[in-house]
Amino acid sequence: VQLVESGGGSVQAGGSLRLSCVASGYNPSTYCRGWFRQAPEKEREGVAGFDSDGATSYRDSVKGRFTISQDNAKKILYLQMNSLKPEDTAMYYCAAAGRGNRYDCILDTWLELLPMGYSGQGTQVTVS
């Protein structure tokens, strides 16, 4: 099982980045899948996610700015991030965990399930 993120970088406030995550070795559509982030000395935060029906959820602070999407055939998960703010600076990880139902896919619940799922090595996003 492998998840590989890419697309991070350094941008100025107001800029955009598109993160990608390629999955291999399992069927991600049976899990809750999405993105979480962690900044130094801060707790991990769920950012955006999909359940197995394709319903999306977003952290309040990114609603209207971030968009999660996926290419099921290619097992690629995307996170389009617009209007970036310095507080978005963090390491961003894609992950798959939970059973894909709407309860497991509530972002806070999904975070608790991560140790039993899969996640990548992360990609750094820095906004100045």
Query: What is the predicted pLDDT for the residue at 25?
Result: 84
66-95 mean pLDDT: 95
What is the average per-residue pLDDT within 90-100?
94
Averaged pLDDT, 4-30: 93
Q: How many CB atoms lie within 10 A of CB 57?
A: 19
Of the chain, the percentage scoring pLDDT greater than 90 comes to 83
Mean per-residue pLDDT, 64-85 = 94
Note the pLDDT tens digit of each residue in 32-52.
999 999 999 999 999 999 998
Mean pLDDT of 7-20: 98
Distances (CA, A) of 25 to 29, 34, 35, 69, 92: 12, 17, 19, 20, 21
On the question of pLDDT at 26 being above 90, the answer is no
Question: What is the arithmetic mean of pLDDT over 3-27?
Answer: 95
Give the pLDDT of residue 49: 95
At residue 20, the pLDDT reads 98
**Core vs surface per residue 70-91: b (16+ CB within 10 A) or e:** beeeebbbbbebeebeeebbbb
Question: Is residue 73 very low, low, confident or very high in pLDDT (cuts 50, 70, 90)?
Answer: confident
